[in-house]
Amino acid sequence: MARSIFITGASSGIGEALAVEFAQRGYDIAIAARRADRLEAQASRLRGLGATRVLPVTLDVTDFDGIAGALQRAATELGRLDIVVVNAGVGYSLPAGKGKFELVKRTLDTDLTGAIATIEHALPLLRAQGGGQIVGITSIAGVRGMPFLGAYSASKAGLHRYLQALRAEVYHEPIVVTELAPGYIDTDMNRDVPNRPFVIPVAKGAAIMARMIERRVGHRYVPVWPWTLVAPIFRILPTSFLAPRKKSTRRA
């Protein structure tokens, strides 16, 4: 019997690439995202790549009341959910105090509250079936608050701490908690960023992440090198190193 996986934010970026990777590995896949048209097109592609069964699930993770039903539907139609990948997220460049609070709120609602809500609704299903794996996608941005990415950095740092706490809480249960923290992976979300150190193609990132998920790791940066070395340094850099350069006011 094929293993099953539920992926949020699966219509683009890392989520879409992960769905492709697991289709090639022969998994049953539930792909969840807001854009139903994209999901239907993707489902056909995944079946052609080797997925045993593909279930498109229209889901906005900020519709907190709809998450439980989406997970239950996938568990019922696929028989069980071995892995739940909490990936749905948004990212905006948001200078503080510039009237962008609606986008700040959307970021926190999606990347933090929506992620936690997904996990909270998934856990009873995993416990009822005797176990499973929660995979939370955080970010290198959770290591250190980045200028113009305050809400995004806060949401990823918050999810990181939640996953740490959850891992301890379910330590004696047959539930694995995996956290993957990507650096720069080439997706639409970050292509307008002028400086993307150590960026890797999304297909390569998804392949690395799929291997880590199947190995049931606890926490890893993606890719492991150089970020495992860079992250501790990044954490202690002086603020002046990260601060945007002040525009010159001199006149010619």
Percent of the chain surpassing pLDDT 90: 89
CA distance 71 to 131: 15
Catalytic residues: 152
What average pLDDT does the segment 48-54 reach? 95
- The per-residue pLDDT for 162 is 98
Q: Name the E strands within the chain.
A: 4-8, 28-33, 54-58, 83-86, 132-137, 175-182, 185-186, 200-201, 219-222
pLDDT digits (tens, 9 = 90+) for 91-130: 999 999 999 999 999 999 999 999 999 999 999 999 999 9
What average pLDDT does the segment 146-171 reach? 97
Q: Is the pLDDT of residue 42 over 50?
A: yes
Contact 158, 115 (CB under 8 A): no
- The per-residue pLDDT for 188 is 85
- The per-residue pLDDT for 100 is 96
- In this structure, whether the domain defined by 4-242 belongs to CATH 3.20.20.70 is answered with no
Residue 194 — very low, low, confident or very high, per pLDDT cuts 50/70/90?
confident
Percent of the chain surpassing pLDDT 70: 97
What average pLDDT does the segment 123-152 reach? 96
3-state secondary structure of 100: coil
What average pLDDT does the segment 137-146 reach? 95
- The per-residue pLDDT for 247 is 65
- The per-residue pLDDT for 189 is 87
Residue 250 — very low, low, confident or very high, per pLDDT cuts 50/70/90?
low
CA distance 177 to 180: 10
- The per-residue pLDDT for 191 is 83
What average pLDDT does the segment 63-82 reach? 97
The pTM is what? 0.95
Residue 252 — very low, low, confident or very high, per pLDDT cuts 50/70/90?
very low
Residue 245 — very low, low, confident or very high, per pLDDT cuts 50/70/90?
confident
Radius of gyration of the chain (CA): 19
- The per-residue pLDDT for 193 is 79
Residue 195 — very low, low, confident or very high, per pLDDT cuts 50/70/90?
confident
Q: Which two tokens stand for residue 36?
A: 């139903």
What average pLDDT does the segment 134-149 reach? 95
Q: Is the pLDDT of residue 248 over 60?
A: no
